Amino acid sequence: MSKFKIEDTFNRLKEKDEKAFIAYIMAGDGGLSDLGRQIRELESAGVSIVELGIPFSDPVADGPAIQAAGRRALAEGVTLEAVLSELARIKAEIGIPVVIMSYANPVLRLGAEKFAGLAHEAGVAGVILPDVPFEQEGEFGAPLAKYDIANIRFVTLTSSRERIREVTETAEGFVYAVTVNGTTGVRDGFDDSLYDHLSRITEVSNAPVCAGFGISTRDQAERTGAACDGVIVGSRIVNLLHEGKADEISGIIPQKSVLKKVTSKIFD
């Protein structure tokens, strides 16, 4: 069993009427020896869950900031196995769930069974594989299920109602609701139809729904978070860590009292 359960985190947040704030960082950006400090800084800032990206030479969903972070990590010689080894070494220092975000190739190269075992030893709570379709997830999901590690699925803006219901009916951990048609990266804003879309997903999903891609400010996090169970912020946090501005991350995280007001404004 994973050290920290994603479900437990969402249950605690729900009891306090709060939403999840998930921070994406690139493992090994700045060197793997810095990973423990980075995660502790995020936890201190108020982050609920850390999404830990694995550097990959041919990403399909990553925007410029995360691509640059991946190149920096690859230049440091960072691999999936090295990340899991470092996580296992520092897991006693971590007080929030860690989710691995990788593409399929690094997992296949390591071996899905071995990957699941090492992820379990590292205390990993969930895995996101953005290039693995729902219909082909069994090769990865079955080994993860042995260790009760959540296999987290995506829903996009173009997903039909039938597809959304199919994907969310047996979802684990949380559902990753993509907020844009395109790659990750800072956006100026979102179309108002997004909030209705997120609400529809949340209504049918058997797991919490978190919105990600393009969210970079507190205002954006508040508005998207009001329509679902939480938000995922990546590029902005990757840049702040790279620039040595970790102290600014807390300024992105929504405040509970504000979220209530935003929810009322959107749905009244």
User: Which residue among 62, 86, 222, 229 is the active-site one?
Assistant: 62
What's the longest Cα–Cα distance across the chain?
Answer: 52
Distance (Å, whole) CA 246 – CA 175: 27
62 labelled catalytic: yes
Closest C-alpha among 251, 227, 120 to residue 179: 227
Distance (Å, whole) CA 174 – CA 164: 13
User: Which residue among 18, 51, 86, 229 is the active-site one?
Assistant: 51
Q: 205: helix, coil or strand? A: coil
Do 19 and 44 meet the contact criterion of CB atoms below 8 Å apart?
Answer: no
131 labelled catalytic: no
Tokens of 84: 């899991």
**Burial class for 145, CB neighbours closer than 10 Å (0-12, 13-18, 19+):** middle
Distance (Å, whole) CA 151 – CA 129: 8
Catalytic residue numbers read: 51, 62
